[in-house]
Chains A and B, each alone.
Chain A
Amino acid sequence: MIAPKEITYAGGGALSAPPEESFVLNLGPQHPAAHGVLRILMRMDGEWITRAEPVIGYIHRMHEKMGENRTYAKFLPNTSRIDYLAAMHYTHAFVGAVERGARIEVPLRAEYIRVITSELQRIASHLVGWGAWIMDLGGLTPILYAFDDRERILDLMEHICGARLTYCYYRFGGLCNDVDDYFLQGSRDFVPYMRKRLKMYRALVTDNIILRKRLEGIGIMDAEMCRRYGVTGPVLRGAGVGYDVRRAEPYSIYPRFEFEIPHYPAGDSMARYLVRMDEMEQSLRIIEQALDQIPAGPIMGKVPRVLKLPAGDFCYAVEAGRGRFMVRIVSDGKDTAYRLKLRTPCFANLSPFEEASKGMILPDALAMLGSLDLVIPDIDR
C-alpha cells in the first residue's frame, strides 16, 4: 500500500487524504476556465487540490516542423498564429532572427513603427488577458470594457495591414505598408483615452475588495520557483524580478525610450495583476515617445530576392505579451531552416502550476491559472 502524501493545505494544517477518499477531477479540455483546450488532471480531496497535472497537446500544430520545411517568407504568417493575442511580437521575433542572420538593415522609420505597433499589441494582449481573468473570477462586465478598448487598437491595426488578429505586418527588412496620418493620429488619441480608462479600471476593478481578497496571497510563486521553471514575463515580474527582454537583451530601438519595468515582490496573483496594469501604462509612455520622435523615410530595407541564411545559429528574443519569446534558427545555408526552435513563454509559465497549486482550493487554483494569462496554442505550438 502506498502511503498518502503529506500535504499542507492552504486553509490550515497538514491533512492527508487516503486514495479512497479523494477523487479525480478532469478539468478540461472543454472547461470555461481553461481558455481553450488545456486539460488539468486534478486529484481532489473535497475541494482541495492534492495534485494538479496539466495535460497539454490538444492543439499541437507542428509549427516548428512547418518552419523547417518551407521558406522563411512562407513560414512568416505562421508566427502570428502561435499566440494570436500577441501576433505582432511573434512576427517581430521571427523577422528579427532572419534579419540578424541575413544581415538585413531595417530603416529607422520601420523600427519606430514596429515599436508603436508592438506596444499597442501589448496593451491589446493585456486587455484580453485582464478581462478574461476577471471573468474567471466571476466579474462578467470588465471583459466587455476591455474588448471595447481593444477594438480601437484592432481598428488601427486593420487600417495599416488589413488584418485584425493575426497580422503579417512586419516583413524581412521592414514593413509591408507605411503608416499614414490616420494611424498616427489614432494612436496619439488612444494614449489619453486609455489612460482615462485605466484610471476607471482601477476604481472599478483593482480597488474592489472582493477582487483583492481573491488575489492577495493566492498562488504565491517566488523568484526561486520562477527561476527553476524558466518563467518569464509579467508572472516573473510579479515575483519581484525586474526581468524584461526589452531591457535585458535590448532589441529594435527600445534603448531609445524611457520606461520602467514594473515589478512587485509579493509573488501572488495580485502582484501579477498589478504588473500587467502598470505595464499598460508604460506601453502608453513608449508609444507617446515613439510618436514624438518618428522620422520620415523608407520603410523597407534592401532584401535579397532569394532569401538564404548563411550557415549558423541565429537567435532573436522579444518581450511578448506573456513573456520571453525567442526564435532560434539553425541554418545550413539553404532557403529553409535546418532547425527552428520557438521558445514560447506560456509553456514555461504553465509549468509551475502543478507545484504552486498543491493544497489550494479549486477556485483559488483557477484564479491563479488566470493570473498566468495562458494562451493554449502558444503552449502547444
Chain B
Amino acid sequence: MMDYFFSGPGLAFTRLVIYLVAFLAFVGLNAAYLVLAERKGAGWFQRRPGPNEVGPAGLLQPIVDGVKLIVKQTIVPPGTDGLLFRLAPAIMLVPAFMCLATIPYAESVYGRNINVGLLMVFSFGSIGVFAIMLGGWASRNKYAVISAARIVSQNIAYEIPMLLVVITMLMVTGTMNLQEIVGQQAGGFWHWNIIKGIWTLTNPLMPVTFIIFFICMLAETNRAPFDMAEAESELIAGAFTEYAGFSWGLFFMGEYANIVVSCSVGTILFLGGWQSPIGVLSGGAWGLLWFFAKMYLLIFIVIWIRWTFPRTQFYGLLNLSWKILIPVSLFTLMLTGALLKLPLLLRHIF
C-alpha cells in the first residue's frame, strides 16, 4: 500500500499533498511572522520595543493574532454583494499560492519546474488586483469604492513598466524557466544578472532596471509609499474597510504572500536565486539559505521603506509611472535589444 504513494501516479499525488501542506504552512507562517517582523522593524525604526509581551520576545504574537482573527465573526454588512464580498479574499490569496509553486527555492526544492514559469508568475500575479477591486466594489462603501478605483489605475500604470522590465530580462536570459534563469547566474555575485549586464555589455543599465522592478513591485503589492488602496489617513482602510475577522486576515495574508512572491521573483531575476554570492558554499541546503537570505533582505528593504517615507500623491504616483518608469524601461529594453544584436550585425558586416 505504501509503495503506491512513492511510485507512479501515486508519487504525483504525494507530491501534491506535500506541496499543498508545505506551501500552506509556508504562506501562513510567512504572513504571520512577516507581520511580526514588520511590527518589530517598525519598533526598531521608531525607537520602541514593538510587540514583546506574548511569548519570549513576542514570538507568539502572530499565533495569538491568527487565533483572534479566526474566532472573530465574519461580518457581511447588509447591502453588500454577498458572493463577491466573500470571494474577494480568496481571489487575493490563491494566485499568490499558484505563483509560489513555480519559484525554485533551491536546486531541488520547487513545486513545479515549468518552462513558462516567469509567464505564469506574472499572469497569476495580475489577478490579485481583482481581489481588491471586487472587495472594494462589493463592500458598497464609499471609501472602499474610491480605493477600488485607485487600485485599478495604479495597477494598470505599474504593470506596463514591470512587464517591460521582464521582457528586458527575457531577452538577456532567453528563457522563461525560472530554474534555468537561476542556473545561468552561477559562479559568484558578478555573474548575477544585476551586475552581469555591465561587464558582458548586454545591458549596462541593469541596476536601473532592477530599481524600476523594485518600485513597480512596491506599487503592485500596495506597499508604502504607494499604498493608495489602503491609505489609512484618507480612506480608513480602503477596500478592506468593511472586512472583519478572518476575511480581513486573508487579505492581509495575501498582501504578505504577494510580497514574498515579488521578492522571490526579484531574487531570481536579478540576484542569482539560490546561487552563492561567493562561488563556493553552494548547492543543497546552502542554496536554500542563500535564496532566503536574499529574499528576506529585499523584504527588509520593503519594510524599511514603509516606515521611513510618507505616502506619495496619487497623481504623482501615476506621473512617476507614465512619465519616468515607462520611458526609462522602454529605453533599457531597446538598449538591451541593440546590444544583444550588435555583435551579430558587426559579424554580418565584417
Contact = CB atoms under 8 A, between A and B. Distances in A.
The answer on A and B forming one complex is: yes
Contacts of B224: 138
A340 B160 CA distance: 63
A214 B313 contact: yes
Interface stretch (A79-87, A228-236, A257-265, A358-366): A358-366
A268 interface: no
B309 interface: yes
Contact of B307 (A25, A136, A141, A214): A141
A33 B235 CA distance: 9
Nearest to B145: A23
B312 A214 contact: yes
Interface stretch (B41-49, B83-91, B115-123): B41-49
Given A208-B309, A210-B309, A361 B315 contact: yes
Contacts, number: 79
A145 B316 CA distance: 27
Contacts of B236: 31-32
Interface residues of B, number: 29
B149 A138 contact: no
Interface in B209-262: 224-225, 227, 231-234, 236
A361 B307 contact: no
Contacts of B15: none
Contacts of A205: 310
A211 interface: yes
A210 B225 contact: yes
Contacts of A136: 233
B146 A137 contact: no
A148 interface: yes
A148 B316 CA distance: 32
Interface in A222-276: none
B341 interface: no
A11 interface: yes
B309 A139 contact: yes
A32 B233 CA distance: 5
Contacts of A160: none
A380 to B, nearest CB: 22
A207 to B, nearest CB: 12
Contact of A363 (B45, B142, B313): B313
Interface in A95-122: none
Nearest to B227: A138
B308 A141 contact: yes
A362 B146 contact: yes
Given A144-B47, A366-B233, A361 B310 contact: no
| Shortest Cβ-Cβ A-B pairs, 9 listed | A138-B311, A139-B310, A144-B46, A137-B310, A136-B233, A138-B310, A33-B233, A32-B233, A363-B234
18 contacts: A23-B142, A32-B236, A33-B233, A47-B146, A47-B149, A47-B150, A47-B314, A137-B233, A138-B224, A138-B233, A138-B309, A141-B307, A204-B308, A210-B309, A213-B316, A214-B311, A361-B315, A363-B231
Interface of B: 42, 45-48, 142-143, 146, 149-150, 224-225, 227, 231-234, 236, 306-316
